[in-house]
Amino acid sequence: MVSGQSANTDSLPSVLSPHLYWWLDYETLGRSSASSTAVFLTSHTDASKECGGAHLEPLSLIMYGMWSPQEYHLHINNLEMRAVFLAASHFQSHLQDSCVIVSTVFTSVVD
């Protein structure tokens, strides 16, 4: 959105409007949601046609596994995204109240 333009919310369900206006408030955007005591974590994920996994730093946690026969036939980008999703699910209890950076070799996953 170009500065000075207003958001067109006429075609949106009314329940979404308050959530979108939060992004238009310059005062809100100037504040960081991460407090000075926030924990910053990095999840490094990778996938191949055979398996996928993730490493959570600085906690040195690792998860990995083989793809199912159904997953094996997915496009590599789908497998990379699946690795990110499975890592978030697996490490869920460690991610609460943290800022997480997702690091993956396929930019289409994070674009």
Ramachandran angles phi, psi of 38, nearest 5°? -65, 145
Q: Which pLDDT does position 1 carry in this prediction?
A: 33
Q: Which pLDDT does position 98 carry in this prediction?
A: 86
Q: Given CA atoms 91, 109, 55, 97 in this order, what sign does their dihedral have?
A: negative
Q: Which pLDDT does position 4 carry in this prediction?
A: 42
Q: Given CA atoms 65, 49, 45, 77 in this order, what sign does their dihedral have?
A: negative
Q: What is the pTM of this model?
A: 0.63
pLDDT in tens, the chain (111 residues): 333 444 454 566 777 777 777 666 666 555 555 555 668 899 999 999 999 999 999 999 999 999 999 999 999 989 999 999 999 999 999 988 888 888 888 766 555
For residue 79, the cross-strand partners are none
Q: Which pLDDT does position 5 carry in this prediction?
A: 43
CATH annotation of 39-110? 3.10.20.370
Q: Which pLDDT does position 2 carry in this prediction?
A: 36
Q: Which pLDDT does position 91 carry in this prediction?
A: 94
Question: Are the C-beta atoms of 109 and 79 separated by less than 8 Å?
Answer: no
Q: How far apart are the first and last CA of the chain?
A: 18
With the CA atoms of 29, 31, 34 and 37 taken in that order, what torsion angle do they form, in degrees rounded to the nearest 10?
170
Q: Which of 83, 89, 74, 73 is nearest to 103 (CA)?
A: 83
Q: Which pLDDT does position 109 carry in this prediction?
A: 59
